[in-house]
Amino acid sequence: MYEQSIMNEADKYKDSSSFKIKTMILVYKFLRFCNSDSYYFITSLSTILLPLFIFDFSIGTIFFGMILHYIIFMTYLKTKLDKIFETRKEIEEISDVIEILKSHLKNKNPN
C-alpha cells in the first residue's frame, strides 16, 4: 500500500514535460526541507530569539533563550511532534517520490 501510493503520486507527472518534472522535484525538495530538523531548529530558535533582540538585548537573555530553546523545543517538543506527525516517515516518502521523479526525468532526457 505504501509503495503503491508513492508510485501513484510520482506517476502523475510521468507524461509531463521536463520542466514540469524539474519543478515538481524542486517542490518536493522544499517540502522535504520543511519537514527537516534544520528547518524546525531555525524557525523555533528565531521564534525564541527575535523577541529577545527586540525587547532586551543582552548576553544573559540570549544565553537564557538559547538554553530554553534547547531544553524545551529541541529535546521535548521535537520528539513529541515527530511522534504525532510522523515526520521521519514523511521525509522517506518524499525522498522516494523525488527519486522516482528523477528516474522519469532521466528516461525523458537520456542525454
**From the CB of residue 10, how many other CB atoms can be counted at a distance below 10 Å?**
21
d(CA 28, CA 94): 6
Can you count the helices (H) and strands (E) in the chain? 6, 0
Find the angle CA(70)-CA(34)-CA(64) to the nearest 5 degrees. Answer: 15
Spell out the domain ranges in the chain.
Answer: 2-108
Say what the pTM is. Answer: 0.80
pLDDT digits (tens, 9 = 90+) for 26-84: 999 999 999 888 898 888 888 888 887 787 778 888 888 888 888 888 788 888 888 88
Lookup result for grid cell 522516494: 96
